[in-house]
Amino acid sequence: MSLNVTAALYGEILKEEEGGFEERVNDAKKFMDWFFYKTGVERNVKDAKIFVAGGTGRYAIAAAEMGVKDISHMDLSEENVRRIQGISDQNKYGIKSIQGNLMDLDLENEYDLIVSEGVIQHLPDPGLGLQKISKCLKSNGSFFFSIYRYGTLSWTISERLRKLHSPADFNEMIDVLGKLSLYDRPIAYSHGTFGRWLLDVLYVPQHGTYAEQQVADTLEESGLSVTSRDNLPALHFSLPTHKTLYFIAKAPEDLAKVNWSAIKVESLYHDRCDDYPVYVNELIDELDAHVEKYKDRSALEKAVFSIGVLTAFDECWRQALFEEAACNRMINYLRKYCG
Ligand SMILES: C[S@@+](CC[C@H](N)C(=O)[O-])C[C@H]1O[C@@H](n2cnc3c(N)ncnc32)[C@H](O)[C@@H]1O
């Protein structure tokens, strides 16, 4: 997919509903607050030089409203950059928001703090992306990032549904979601709406899931230190909320000691395996069989199928039906309604 098409796709996926952005900036402030505390930046917020690597830029606005003076933001989408520049100009925040590809970054020793939330797993080469972004750290600088977590029910389902969809049916899906009023429907676990969440999950060009220990090891091996991480068990299907891993990596005093090219990550596919509980493997089998059945159907039928499966999953969230109950409910849904 060309870079322009990818950028336009993100513009559509991240379109904000009325009033939504302000609320999401407030969420970002809570993260930043924790991040400032963890990294010690809270002692000198106004002198910190911050880079927000990718995303809507809500972290850049949050940082400005928390007193940071030197903030840069880069994202692929023109809409995101225009929105951030507009808010910044209006409020005199002085944010430098740039439209660009993080894979082309060529900076060294530039920032005290870097924030990249919800971006790394979407880069064409997440390991190389991590290298390039980390390299922008100053000595003793900290890099907060999140990355999708291997071992959760949510990604096990969406990875399978993604096989049915391609940019060719994106417009059809946008239409169907609108007709079903799904851009107005809240989702159980975030401020987003069901429609935008579904577009995000099914159409972002890259979408990998990563094992926490592997990411922590690669950062440490390169010479960065991991000062914060989730520390969750490797497989944790019962915690669908932990669909994302959070890390803070800190650069050493002497940057020459870091071997940037040692940072490598590998995406893992949620295949059935003997370590999973039986009900998880049953759900995986059932999903695989249904995806196989739907792969030659029309774009409309595929859209209705995926919307149905993800609605059933969202209902499990609402009712806190995780683990066995959620898997069984999903299996019943597939058998009963998805012929
Ligand atoms: C799913 S969104 C995450 C948004 C994030 N949770 C936030 O609220 O800011 C992924 C973001 O990564 C950006 N992105 C993906 N690939 C990129 C690249 N190669 N360079 C710069 N930005 C990129 C997209 O434009 C989009 O803003």
Q: Are residues 123 and 162 in the same domain?
A: no
Tell me: pLDDT of 240 over 80. Answer: no
Q: Are residues 235 and 303 in the same domain?
A: no
Number of H helices and number of E strands within the chain? 12, 7
Q: Is residue 19 part of a domain?
A: yes
Q: Residue 237: CB partners within 8 Å, gap ≥ 6?
A: 151, 152, 153, 156, 276, 277, 280, 322, 323
pLDDT tens sequence across 116-147: 999 999 999 999 999 999 999 999 999 999 99
CB 293 within 8 A of CB 272: no
Q: 119 CB less than 6 Å from ligand 1?
A: yes
Q: Are residues 181 and 322 in the same domain?
A: yes
Mean pLDDT of 176-184: 93
Q: 54 CB less than 6 Å from ligand 1?
A: yes
Q: What atom of ligand 1 comes closest to residue 200's alpha carbon?
A: 1
Q: Are residues 127 and 225 in the same domain?
A: yes
Tell me: pLDDT of 18 over 60. Answer: no
Q: 305 C-alpha to center of ligand 1: Å?
A: 27
| H or E segment and range at residue 305 | helix 299-318
Q: In what order do the strands lie in the sheet with 137-148?
A: 96-99, 70-75, 49-53, 111-116, 137-148, 244-250, 225-229
Residue of the CA atom closest to atom 19 of ligand 1: 101
Residue of the CA atom closest to atom 25 of ligand 1: 76
Phi (first) and psi of residue 124, to 5 degrees: -60, -30
Q: Are residues 63 and 174 in the same domain?
A: no
Q: Are residues 185 and 68 in the same domain?
A: no
Q: Are residues 32 and 90 in the same domain?
A: yes
Q: Is residue 319 part of a domain?
A: yes
Mean pLDDT of 11-40: 85
Residue of the CA atom closest to atom 10 of ligand 1: 119
pLDDT tens sequence across 140-174: 999 999 999 998 888 899 999 999 999 889 999 99
When pLDDT is cut at 50, 70 and 90, the band that residue 2 belongs to is: confident
Q: How far is it, in rounded angstroms, from Cα 327 to Cα 153? A: 9
Number of domains in the chain: 2
Q: Residue 112: CB partners within 8 Å, gap ≥ 6?
A: 41, 48, 49, 50, 138, 141, 142
Q: Is residue 331 part of a domain?
A: yes
Q: Are residues 254 and 131 in the same domain?
A: yes
Residue where a domain stops, chosen among 262, 284, 303: 262
Q: 164 C-alpha to center of ligand 1: Å?
A: 23
Q: 56 CB less than 6 Å from ligand 1?
A: yes
Q: Is residue 255 part of a domain?
A: yes
CB 251 within 8 A of CB 141: yes
Q: Are residues 73 and 135 in the same domain?
A: yes
Residue of the CA atom closest to atom 4 of ligand 1: 55
Q: Are residues 35 and 126 in the same domain?
A: yes
CATH (domain of 127): 3.40.50.150
Q: Are residues 118 and 137 in the same domain?
A: yes
| H or E segment and range at residue 285 | helix 278-294
Tell me: pLDDT of 242 over 70. Answer: no
Q: Is residue 267 part of a domain?
A: no
Q: Is residue 323 part of a domain?
A: yes
Tell me: pLDDT of 93 over 60. Answer: yes
Instruction: Write out the residue range of the structural domain in which residue 324 sits.
Output: 153-206+272-337
CA 75 to chain centre: 14
Q: 80 C-alpha to center of ligand 1: Å?
A: 9
